[in-house]
Amino acid sequence: MTGPNRSVSLSITNSAVVDEERPLSQRPPVIVGSALIVPAGLLRHLADGAPKEEPPKDTAQVERLAMDAVMKLERALGFKPRDVSADKVGHDIESRDPQGGPLRFIEVKGRIRGADTVTVTKNEILTALNKPEQFILAIVLVDGGATTTYYRLEPFAKEPDFDEVSSNYDLHRLLTHAERM
């Protein structure tokens, strides 16, 4: 539409918009909903009536619980484990088969239940790739004082980049290919 009829049409449209906006005015806000945020610990306490044991927050404590769990498990499996974590050799435990089998290299990762990632150093990954049939990634979930141990064989598929120091792995994906011990 062109010419004078177009301007009449626009004028009518603009006038209709103005008429619709006239009843709008600023008014005080009206609350139509609300939310109450309650800490999960309080809900658990109210549900049970008893306080839950606080999970260990200290990384050293979690790692110690994890190391103890794997050492105990290795002994129960008939191996002779030795803690070499202070030597920084790419694994935490060397576990000897008393019947002459190959030495097992175990890297222990203690994680608080609910964690999402596991950080592995370049040295640990290279050790796993150099000795794939002897390397075990032990993932220990720590929940309060309780532990659940998983063994993951051949956990890594590729070498880290030259300048890479460590890598983060999805904990849940690692556990899908691990064996609960």
- Looking at residues 136-165, what average pLDDT do you find? 90
Read off the pLDDT of residues 1-57 as tens digits, 9 standing for 90 and up. 555 555 555 555 666 666 666 666 677 777 777 777 877 777 766 766 555 444 556
Residues 155-170 have a mean pLDDT of 88
pLDDT of residue 11: 58
Is the entire prediction scored with pTM above 0.75?
A: no
What pLDDT does residue 19 have? 64
Q: Convert the pLDDT of each residue in 76-128 to its tens digit.
A: 999 999 999 888 888 899 999 988 888 999 999 999 878 889 999 999 999 99
Predicted pLDDT at 61: 86
Question: For 50-54, 59-63, 93-97, 147-151, which range has the lowest pLDDT when averaged over its residues?
Answer: 50-54
Give the span between the Cα atoms of 70 and 107, in whole angstroms.
Answer: 10
Among the residue ranges 107-111, 127-131, 143-147, 151-155, the one predicted with the least confidence is 143-147
Could you state, in order of their start, the residue ranges of all structural domains in the chain?
A: 59-180
Q: Distance between CA 128 and CA 119 in Å, rounded?
A: 14
Question: Exposed, middle or buried by CB within 10 Å (0-12, 13-18, 19+), for 41?
Answer: exposed
According to the model, what pLDDT value does residue 100 have?
A: 86
* Domain topology for 59-180: Trna Endonuclease; Chain: A, domain 1 (3.40.1350)
